[in-house]
Amino acid sequence: MIQRLILVAFFALAWSAPAGARTVYRCVKNSTVSLSTAPEPGSKCEKKIIKDDAASVPNLWGNLGAIKGTLYEGTLNGKTVYTTRKLPGFEPVLKFFVDTPKDSPAHVGLGKVSKPRLDMYASEFKAAAKTHKVDDAFLRAIAHAESGFNASATSPKGAQGLMQLMPGTARELGVANPYASKDAINGGAKMLKQLLARYKGDYSKAAAAYNAGAGAVAKFGGIPPYRETVSYVEKVSALHASYRKAMKLPPLKPVLTAAQ
């Protein structure tokens, strides 16, 4: 199994760990996961102890689907380190492929990046954005990415309607019928107001939480490294900029916030 081969390479050198066990660090940086034999500079790393006699190597990657990568070797603080992230001065030593579980809390948006549709539910978006004091362009970008403005859409994971609200979320937001466009837009705006307040105006984190849940954002200290979520945030960001331009609004400035 390739994970075991990677760990064998990791543990080619002696590392401080209990007898009969080895140490590996699971590191997250810029929404990507890596494994390393030492904490990586600039990454949020979690120490893992792997027993030598473990029946199987635990999945340290998470639910990321198929991963193709490279194992690198280099020196940190005078010690030889192996990592799956390309660090300055590190050299490649092994190509690998890992097939991790594909399930994640995220749901895939049903809308594609395309030209802004200012004609779709214009009065509903304007009213909801005004009521909840959220950016009209961002609200439209979420709807565009979520359903492509299809009020009757249902995702494979059960997200419903124009704003693709999960049934439990819809109930919490007071949305009686997620397939009713006005109710759905109002519920989506209410949720985005809560998320933007939580993340101090960080639209990327708000979009990530809308897609994968605030718990996942908290777990990873930012955008979760799920393929669905990373792709979703990129899609929403592109649509948000496109809608602001179409609505003749100034471009957004980057928001720098601490990890939530």
Distance of CA 225 to the CA centre of its chain: 5
For residue 240, what are the contacts with CB-CB under 8 A and spacing of at least 6?
135, 137, 138, 141, 203, 252
Catalytic residue list contains 91: no
CB 149 within 8 A of CB 185: no
- Angle among Cα 66, 145, 250 to the nearest 5 degrees reads 120
Identify the active-site residue in 40, 146, 228, 234: 146
What does the alpha-carbon distance between residue 225 and residue 15 come to, in Å, rounded to a whole number?
28
Specify the DSSP class assigned to residue 165. Answer: B
Residue 42: φ, ψ to 5°: 85, 0
CB 49 within 8 A of CB 17: yes
Query: Catalytic residue numbers?
Result: 146
